[in-house]
Amino acid sequence: TERNANEPEFHQAVKEVLESLVPVLDKHPEYISAGIVERIVEPERQIIFRVPWVDDTGKVRVNRGFRIQFNSAIGPYKGGLRFHPSVNVGILKFLGFEQTFKNSLTGLPIGGGKGGSDFDPKGKSDNEVMRFCQSFMTELYRHIGQDIDVPAGDIGVGGREVGFLFGQFKRIKNAYEAGVLTGKGLTFGGSLVRTQATGYGLVYFLDEMLKDKGMSLAGKTVLVSGSGNVSIYATEKVQQLGGKVVAVSDSNGYVYDAEGINLATVKRIKEVERGRISEYVKAHPKAEYHTGWTGIWTIPCDIALPCATQNEIDENSAKILVKNGCKAVAEGANMPTTLEGTKVFLDSGVMFGPAKAANAGGVATSALEMTQNSMRLAWTFEEVDAKLKNIMVNIFKNSSKAAEDYGLKGNLVAGANIAGFVKVAEAMKAQGIV
C-alpha cells in the first residue's frame, strides 16, 4: 500500500477483486508462480501531462491530463475519459483496474485503460470546451491509436467532447483513423445504440437477474441516481419494460415524482439545456425536489440503480434500502457501493449486480463500434441492440457460472471478478513475464 499511498479508491477496488480470487489462486498455483497478482495490480504505463488553454476572458488556465494504460493482455487499452474536478491518479487507477476485468467479461478483445482531467466542464462555453479538448488531444494523440489505446466518454465527456477530440486527432495525424475513439457522432463513424448502451445494457442485465428468480420489471418501483448518460437510458429501458422510475438526481439533490419520472423533461434539462435537475419541478409542480444527493436512497423502492458516481451508497444507505424492502440493486456507475454497503446487500439476500458486469454494455458497444469502423460498415439499431442484449445475457450467465463453480452460487460480485480475471490471467501467463 505504501507505493500507492493516498489512493483509497484504488485500494478499495483491488481489495474487492483480490478477496474474490482467493479460491481461484488456491486452485491455480501457476498464477502465483507467474506473478499474475503482482503484475495485474500495476498499470503497464501511466501518462500525466499539462493541458494549457485560454478561457473566454483571455486568461490562461492549466489543467492536468492523465491516461492510465492498465492492461493490454487481451487487446488494445480501452476505457473512457473523465472530466471532473475530482479526477486524480488514484481514481483513474481504480477505474482502469476495474475496466480490465469488465472488458474481459464482454468476451471481446479489449484491454483496460482509463484517463481524463481535473477540468470541470460545468459552466464552460462550447468554445472553452473545444479549446480544452484540442489542447488535451495535442498531447494525448501520441499515446493512442486504433491498435494501441482507444479512449471513449465517461463523466463529463459525451458526444460534444468526443467530437472535438476526434477533430483534433485527425488534424494532427492527417489520417482518418475512425477506430481511435468511440462514442463518436453518427456522421463520422459512431455506432447506433452507443449513447443508450450502458443504461440499456444495465437493464438487460437486471432483467436477467430478476428472471433468474422468477421475477420481472413490470410494476416495480425503481430509483435511478444521477441524470447523465447512464441514468437517462437506464430510466428509458426500465420504463419500456414496464417499471416505474420515481426518482433521479444530480450532485446537488434529487427529484421524487410519485407519478413516475417524465423522461422527456429530464432529457430536455440535461441533454439540451445542460441545466440542473432542480428545474424538473417547474414542469411538474406535483413532484418534490430535495437538496442532498444521497437522500434518494431513503425513498422506498423495489429496485435501486445507482448511476451517478463511486461510493454513492454507503453502509447506512444500504441498510435503509434493505429496510424499505429493496429486492435488487444493479450498479450503472463504477463502484457506486462501498465495500460495507455491498456486504449489507449480500448478507440480506438482496440480488446484487456489480458494476463490472452490469455496466459493461457501454464498452461492449464501443468494441462493436471499433468492429464497424474496421469493416467500414454501419449496422442498424436493431442489429447492435440485439448484439448488446446477447452480450449482457452472456455476462450474466458467465458470472453466475463462475460463482457456482467456486461454491459461491448467487454471488455475482465474486462471479464477475473470477470470470473476468481468469481470461486475463491465462493471456498474461501465455505471454510470459512482460
Residue 387 Cβ vs ligand NDP, minimum distance, rounded to whole Å: 16
Residue 189 Cβ vs ligand NDP, minimum distance, rounded to whole Å: 17
Can you tell me the distance from the alpha carbon of 333 to that of 231, in angstroms, rounded to the nearest whole number?
A: 9
User: 44: how many CB neighbours lie within 10 A of its CB?
Assistant: 17
Which CB, 20 or 231, lies closer to ligand NDP?
231
Which CB, 228 or 415, lies closer to ligand NDP?
228
Residue 178 Cβ vs ligand NDP, minimum distance, rounded to whole Å: 18
**C-alpha cell belonging to residue 44:** 503497464
Question: Left if phi > 0, otherwise alpha if psi is -120 to 50, otherwise beta: which for 230?
Answer: alpha
Can you tell me the distance from the alpha carbon of 91 to that of 114, in angstroms, rounded to the nearest whole number?
A: 10
Exposure on the CB side of residue 359, measured as CA atoms within 13 A? 27
Contacts with 22 (C-beta within 8 Å, 6 or more apart), sequence order: none
Contacts with 180 (C-beta within 8 Å, 6 or more apart), sequence order: 144, 145, 146, 150, 166, 169
Can you tell me the distance from the alpha carbon of 343 to that of 58, in angstroms, rounded to the nearest whole number?
A: 51
**C-alpha cell belonging to residue 268:** 430536455
Can you tell me the distance from the alpha carbon of 211 to that of 206, in angstroms, rounded to the nearest whole number?
A: 9
Residue 80 Cβ vs ligand NDP, minimum distance, rounded to whole Å: 6
Which CB, 338 or 428, lies closer to ligand NDP?
338
Residue 31 Cβ vs ligand NDP, minimum distance, rounded to whole Å: 27
- Would residue 114 show up in a list of annotated catalytic residues for this protein? yes
Q: What is the largest CA-CA distance in the chain?
A: 63
Can you tell me the distance from the alpha carbon of 184 to that of 165, in angstroms, rounded to the nearest whole number?
A: 10
Which CB, 78 or 327, lies closer to ligand NDP?
78
Positions that interact with ligand NDP (CB under 6 A): 153-156, 198, 226-231, 250-252, 293, 307-309, 332-334, 359, 362
Can you tell me the distance from the alpha carbon of 118 to that of 111, in angstroms, rounded to the nearest whole number?
A: 24
Torsion, Cα of 172, 50, 42, 79 (10° steps): -50
Residue 233 Cβ vs ligand NDP, minimum distance, rounded to whole Å: 9
Contacts with 317 (C-beta within 8 Å, 6 or more apart), sequence order: 294, 297, 298, 341
> Which of these is catalytic: 93, 114, 244, 356?
114
Which CB, 40 or 269, lies closer to ligand NDP?
269
Which CB, 120 or 426, lies closer to ligand NDP?
120
Contact 136, 165 (CB under 8 A): yes
Which CB, 4 or 251, lies closer to ligand NDP?
251
Residue 349 Cβ vs ligand NDP, minimum distance, rounded to whole Å: 26
Residues taking part in catalysis: 114
